[in-house]
Amino acid sequence: MPVVKGILGRKLGMTQLFDEQGQAVTVTVLEAGPCVVVQKRTQSKDGYDAVQLGFGEVKERRLNKPQRGHLAAHHAPLRRVLGEFRLQDPEALAEGQEVKADIFTPGEVVAVSGTSKGKGFAGVVKRYHFHGGPATRGSMFHRKPASSGATDAARIFKGVRKPGHMGAVRVTTKGLRVVRVDAERNLILVRGAVPGAPGSLVRITMPVVAERKPSRRKFVS
* Three-class SS of the chain: CCCECEEEEEEEEEEEEECCCCCEEEEEEEEECCEEEEEEECHHHHCCCEEEEEEEECCHHHCCHHHHHHHHHCCCCCEEEEEEEEECCCCCCCCCCEECHHHCCCCCEEEEEEECCCCEEECHHHHHCCCCCCCCCCCCCCCCCCCCCCCCCCCCCCCCCCCEEECCCEEEEEEEEEEEEECCCCEEEEECCCCCCCCCEEEEECCCCCCCCCCCCCCCC
Q: What is the average per-residue pLDDT within 102-107?
A: 88
Q: What is the average per-residue pLDDT within 36-55?
A: 88
Distance, CA of 96 to CA of 18 (rounded, Å): 39
Higher pLDDT, 46 or 165: 165
Q: What is the pLDDT of residue 45?
A: 87
Distance, CA of 161 to CA of 145 (rounded, Å): 9
| φ/ψ of residue 38, rounded to 5 | -85, -45
Q: Is 74 exposed, middle or buried (0-12, 13-18, 19+ CB in 10 A)?
A: middle
Q: What is the pLDDT of residue 127?
A: 94
Structure confidence by residue, pLDDT tens digits, 60-84:
899 999 999 999 999 888 999 999 9
Distance, CA of 156 to CA of 65 (rounded, Å): 44
Q: What is the average per-residue pLDDT within 32-44?
A: 88
Q: Do the Cβ atoms of 165 and 121 come closer than 8 Å?
A: yes
Q: Do the Cβ atoms of 50 and 41 come closer than 8 Å?
A: yes
Q: Do the Cβ atoms of 95 and 60 come closer than 8 Å?
A: no
Beta bridge partners of 158: none
Is 151 a residue whose pLDDT tops 70?
yes
Beta bridge partners of 98: 36
Range from 43-52, 86-95, 105-114, 115-124 carrying the lowest mean pLDDT: 86-95
